[in-house]
Amino acid sequence: MTTLIINIKELLQVRENHIPKISGRDMKQLPIIKDAYLLIDDDTIVGFGTMADCKKIEADTIIDATGKVVLPTWCDSHTHIVYAGNREQEFVDRINGFSYEDIANRGGGILNSAEKLQQTSEDDLYEQSANRLQQVMQLGTGAIEIKSGYGLTIEAELKMLRVIKRLKQNFPLKIEATLLAAHAVPKEFKDNKEGFVDLIVNDMIPTVANEQLAKYIDVFCEKGYFDLIDTERILKAGTAHGLIPKIHVNQFNAFGGIEIGVNNQALSVDHLEVLNDSDIEVLKNSETMPVALPSCSYFLSIPYTPARKLIDAGLPLALASDYNPGSTPSGNMNFVISTACIKMRITPEEAINAATINGAYAMGVGNMYGSITRGKKANIIITKDIPSYAFLPYAFGSNHIYKVMINGQFI
């Protein structure tokens, strides 16, 4: 079954060869073909070029994309979309003057979500999460990483990870799972954080690895959560069980977490709202992808990751949503790229590179997703009629998506 898309106004992120990631130096370039065609066989991209070269191509289905831009679907490398209920009351509390930290200190925040999740049945949790996943897919996300971390007990963490497994079985988009057992210290371990880290290292990691419920290990490395020693211990235990590190770090404080991530071969270090020059130096000598989460900064009114500085230092950058009930109740990657352009002063080319190829790298799926390359999955966004691709981040409030194709099928 072949599908031919013709008369594409601009075909974005076209790469003849697979590139694992794009460094800051090259992020300004977004390769495009104007007046293009794209040929898909079953679920795979098999050809592309200009309309002048499309004359003799035949296909089972032909789609006319006159006036439309075509690009790879977003690769959202950092989300927490499996959660129970919402936290709109905390949102109102913050408007009324409480900080995110105040709310966490009085037992709200992550602990609030954990309580809700523990009381929610697995089927109900699945339904709530599936709804969110369906929504983000319609917004153009074609590969997504999903973390546990609202369980805080072994049973509840396993429940979350089983829900992710079920989502993988029932949805066509690419999903990777991350064990984020060290997301917050549960009430029962309030005065015994080490006991909780013991539980993670001795029970949770081995069980999750044995049942192959996660590919990555994550830690919220932050003051009041998990320190450098906890982080290193958990990452090493994860690695020993075949899990790959990806960490939450430098969201509110910079105290060396990035170095711990890099030394433990983290695939990505995420958040980075607060960065030292020494953190940038550490990243320069690594294969670790820095990941910015601009919707989180927007929602919490905290600083934006200094993306310009990272890119100008020659580092690659990925953009992700951080979709979660507390700091980012949105998984809209279109908003993420707009916000990155508007608030972090990165160009549309840089933002699109960050949300496609570099996002794919940050979740370890770059071999099959993130660019228009022969052999990669046919996961594409077809926009409505727009003047040019820069219009996508520019007109930030509108939905520019006409159709989303995942594995060669329109959803």
Which residues lie near ligand NIG (CB under 6 A)? 109-110, 113, 220, 248, 251, 296, 322, 324-327
Segment contacting Fe ion by CB under 5 A, of 127-135, 210-218, 251-259, 319-327: 319-327
Query: Long-range contacts for 155-161 (Cβ within 8 Å, ≥24 apart)?
Result: 156/114, 156/117, 156/118, 157/181, 157/204, 157/208, 158/207, 158/208, 158/211, 158/213, 159/117, 159/122, 159/125, 160/82, 160/117, 160/125, 161/208, 161/211, 161/213, 161/214
Instruction: Give Cα separations from 310 to 121, 302, 344 (angstroms).
Output: 42, 18, 11
Structural tokens at position 331 = 């998984």
Q: Which is nearer to Fe ion, 48 or 361 (CB)?
A: 361
Q: 128 labelled as ligand-binding?
A: no
Q: Which is nearer to ligand NIG, 106 or 284 (CB)?
A: 106
Q: 251 labelled as ligand-binding?
A: yes
Q: 248 labelled as ligand-binding?
A: yes
Residue 75: CB atoms within 10 Å: 32
Segment contacting Fe ion by CB under 5 A, of 206-214, 300-308, 320-328, 343-351: 320-328
Q: 150 labelled as ligand-binding?
A: yes
Q: Which is nearer to Fe ion, 325 or 348 (CB)?
A: 325
Q: Which is nearer to ligand NIG, 235 or 392 (CB)?
A: 235
Binding of Fe ion at residue 230 (CB under 5 A)? no
Interface mask (CB under 5 A) for Fe ion, residues 105-144, using x and -?
----------------------------------------
Q: 241 labelled as ligand-binding?
A: no
Binding of Fe ion at residue 322 (CB under 5 A)? yes
Name every residue whose Cβ is closer than 8 Å to that of residue 192 and which is 6 or more positions away in sequence: none
Interface mask (CB under 5 A) for Fe ion, residues 209-228, using x and -?
--------------------
Q: Which is nearer to ligand NIG, 326 or 348 (CB)?
A: 326
Q: Give the nearest distance from C-beta 141 to Fe ion in angstroms.
A: 16
Q: Which is nearer to ligand NIG, 273 or 349 (CB)?
A: 273
Segment contacting Fe ion by CB under 5 A, of 4-12, 101-109, 161-169, 314-322: 314-322
Contact 216, 246 (CB under 8 A): yes
Give me the residue whose beta carbon is nearest to ligand NIG: 326
Q: What's the distance, CA 134 to chain centroid?
A: 15
Instruction: Report the interface residues with Fe ion, using CB under 5 A.
Output: 322
Residues annotated in a binding site for N-formimidoyl-L-glutamate: 150, 324, 326
